[in-house]
């Protein structure tokens, strides 16, 4: 049973796990200090990857934490620490979803793979993704105020300058594009001419979720074959298909192609809603997922648990 005052009319609650970009030094430290369940996750991460990972999560510096080999296992560790605390308090989820990297957290929570397997896996994922495109040759930008079809057409026109394509369908009126630097800049120029309300360049180290990362697929496939995935005990929505996945082979196939294909986050949330999900809890650093939810389904109850004080307000109000 759900603890506290979070009692939406529909008891089906989905837990959401954030992706890269939500990181910041000090994330999760208050959960480490206050909850033994969280402390155990951080200590296990230090055993698996060495104490440097926890030191970087808590103390940075920020430039180091932004390196994907630290970012990805760092966010996964913090998200799972918070999840374990909520699970210990009796919170139950009828489904899970995670944005890009967050899909690994969702699969751990669903029992498809262990934290011990996922942590080194996402660290390698981060390294492979960074190695795929030299720093400075790729770019990502968030385009606000245009619909999916407009952005897709803009990307097609901008491909005269190189690779550029939608990378994240975040919410209505917000799509991230990714690709070669010149091609993304051309898409940004065309988006402004088309009436985009706002365009923001993303501080990322590589152009994620586009065909430039195609070489990563073979490396990820080899790593995933080393792991024995189990059927998901709770439904997980795949970023690639925006459909529920349960079976190990399907889960692995989707994780392989995820690195070079667009993240269909808005469609994933709508799939959860169509299945009866009536409330959402975002777990981990940052509040971006709850902000996106306000754009996708503002009528539904959505909470973000990033800090201990968030959880205390959650339980006491």
Q: Pull the structure tokens for residue 239.
A: 């970023």
Q: At what angle do helices 115-132 and 102-109 cross, to 10 degrees?
A: 170
Q: 304 pairs with which residues across the strands?
A: 282
- Give the SS3 label for residue 176: strand
* Of 209, 238, 260, 268, catalytic: 209
Rounded CA separation 200/308 (Å): 30
How far apart, in whole angstroms, are the C-alpha atoms of residue 68 and residue 199?
Answer: 24
**75 vs 268: CA distance, rounded Å:** 21
Catalytic residue among 93, 94, 100, 290: 100
Counting every residue written for the chain, the total comes to 317
Helix (H) or strand (E) holding 7: none
Q: Which candidate, 101, 22, 32, 95, places its Cα nearest to that of 284? A: 22
User: With contact defined as beta carbons under 8 Å apart, do 163 and 182 qualify?
Assistant: no
Catalytic site includes residue 148: no
- In terms of Cβ atoms closer than 10 Å to its own Cβ (0-12, 13-18, 19+), residue 100 is buried
Q: Please check whether residue 41 is in contact with residue 309, taking contact to mean a CB–CB distance below 8 angstroms.
A: no
Token pair in block for residue 289: 């997922």
**Any idea which residue has 């299945």 for tokens?**
275
The continuous run of DSSP H or E covering 286 comes out as none
List CB contacts of 195: < 8 A, sequence separation 6 or more: 145, 146
268 is catalytic: no
Residues designated catalytic: 100, 209
């Amino acid at each position: 049973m759900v603890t506290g005052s979070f009692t939406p009319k529909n008891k089906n609650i989905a837990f959401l796990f954030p992706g890269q970009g939500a990181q910041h030094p000090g994330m999760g430290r208050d959960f480490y200090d206050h909850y033994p369940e969280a402390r155990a996750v951080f200590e296990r991460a230090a055993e698996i990857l060495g104490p440097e990972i926890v030191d970087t999560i808590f103390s940075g510096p920020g430039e180091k934490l932004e390196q994907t080999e630290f970012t990805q296992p760092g966010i996964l560790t913090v998200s799972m620490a918070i999840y374990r605390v909520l699970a210990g308090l009796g919170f139950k989820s009828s489904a899970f979803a995670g944005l890009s990297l967050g899909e690994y957290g969702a699969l751990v929570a669903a029992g498809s793979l262990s934290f011990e397997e996922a942590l080194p896996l996402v660290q390698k994922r981060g390294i492979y993704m960074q190695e795929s495109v030299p720093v400075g040759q790729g770019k990502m930008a968030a385009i606000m105020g245009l619909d999916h079809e407009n952005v897709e057409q803009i990307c097609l026109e901008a491909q005269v300058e190189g690779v550029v394509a939608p990378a994240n369908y975040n919410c209505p009126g917000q799509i991230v594009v990714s690709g070669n630097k010149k091609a993304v800049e051309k898409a940004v120029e065309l988006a402004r001419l088309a009436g985009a309300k706002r365009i923001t360049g993303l501080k990322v180290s590589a152009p994620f979720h586009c065909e430039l990362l195609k070489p990563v697929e073979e490396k990820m496939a080899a790593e995933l074959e080393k792991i024995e995935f189990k059927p998901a005990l709770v439904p997980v929505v795949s970023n690639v298909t925006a459909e529920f996945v349960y079976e190990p082979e399907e889960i692995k196939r989707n994780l392989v192609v995820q690195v070079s294909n667009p993240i269909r986050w808005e469609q994933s949330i709508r799939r959860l809603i169509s299945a009866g999900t009536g409330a959402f809890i975002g777990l981990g650093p940052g509040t971006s997922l709850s902000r996106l939810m306000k754009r996708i389904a503002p009528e539904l109850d959505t909470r973000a648990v990033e800090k201990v004080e968030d959880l205390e307000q959650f339980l006491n109000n």
